[in-house]
Amino acid sequence: MATSDVTVLGAWPSPYVNRVVMALKIKSVEYELVETNPHRKSELLLKSNPVHKKVPVLIHADKTICESLIIVQYIDDAWTNGPSILPSDPYDRAIARFWAAYIDEKLRDAKEDEAKTAILEKIYEGLLLLEEAFINCSKGKAFFGGDSVGYLDIALGCQVGWLKVTEILSGAKFLDETKIPCLVRWAERLYSDSCVKDVMLETHMLLEVFNKFQAMSTAASA
């Protein structure tokens, strides 16, 4: 399929937008990122995603695809000339999808009314299980997907930068080599992998964004 006429609606600091960007990078697909404030719904966003009204949205040849993990799967299916993102084996694909859903459950869907300690404990618990998942899925290789970055690497990798920001802000230590050594080394490899290193979310840039929005929020409420 043609690689032109591909647009992504979203804000670059979003980990879920980053999933889409990583997948497009792996497939060497040219795209335009249309910066879209998720808190100020643009007409294009509302038209493209009338159900959930959120980013990311992939627009390809006038067709819209929503939800980050679904978009990643679409990219893998639509551009078959690049490296495969999902495993080819049906069982391995099912396992990858299971753990991707788990990642969103533990790292994305923390409720706003939950206590801070409850949220941190949920993240700790999730990372410990994902350490085991990495060992089983990678089969001794560098990434969840084997020798190259794949579906689960994208699903979790987009969160690493924000996990580090949360460490700085909360004083917690999530990426602890004494507890999850395999995931810590995996994250280091991911950030240095030639295929995606240029689009990985860097902690210092995310921290700048967070501080900027905090300052704006404080000024607005003063």
Whole-model pTM above 0.85?
A: yes
Asked if the structure places residue 39 within a domain, the reply is: yes
Q: Is residue 220 part of a domain?
A: no
CB contact at 8 A, 86 and 121: no
CA 179 – CA 124 distance, rounded (Å): 10
Residues 193 and 102 in one domain: yes
Residues 6 and 71: beta-carbon distance below 8 Å = no
pLDDT value, residue 110 = 52
Find the CATH number of the domain harbouring 30: 3.40.30.10
- 50 contacts 25 by C-beta, under 8 angstroms: no
Domain that residue 178 falls in: 90-207
Tens-binned pLDDT, residue by residue, of the chain (222 aa) = 444 599 999 999 999 999 999 999 999 999 999 999 888 899 999 999 999 999 999 999 999 999 999 999 999 999 999 899 999 999 999 999 999 999 998 887 554 446 778 888 889 999 999 999 999 999 999 999 899 999 999 999 999 999 999 999 989 999 999 999 999 999 999 999 999 999 999 999 999 999 998 888 787 776
Domain boundary (23, 51, 78) is at 78
Q: Are 190 and 149 in a shared domain?
A: yes
User: For residue 217, is it within any domain?
Assistant: no
The reply to whether 40 and 138 lie within a common domain is no
The amino acid present at 171, given as its one-letter code, is G
Q: What's the Cα-to-Cα distance from 119 to each of 2, 71, 84, 153, rounded to whole Å?
A: 43, 27, 34, 23
pLDDT score, position 111: 45
> Could you give the number of structural domains in the chain?
2
Task: Specify the CATH number for the domain of residue 186.
Answer: 1.20.1050.10
Give pLDDT, residue 2. 40
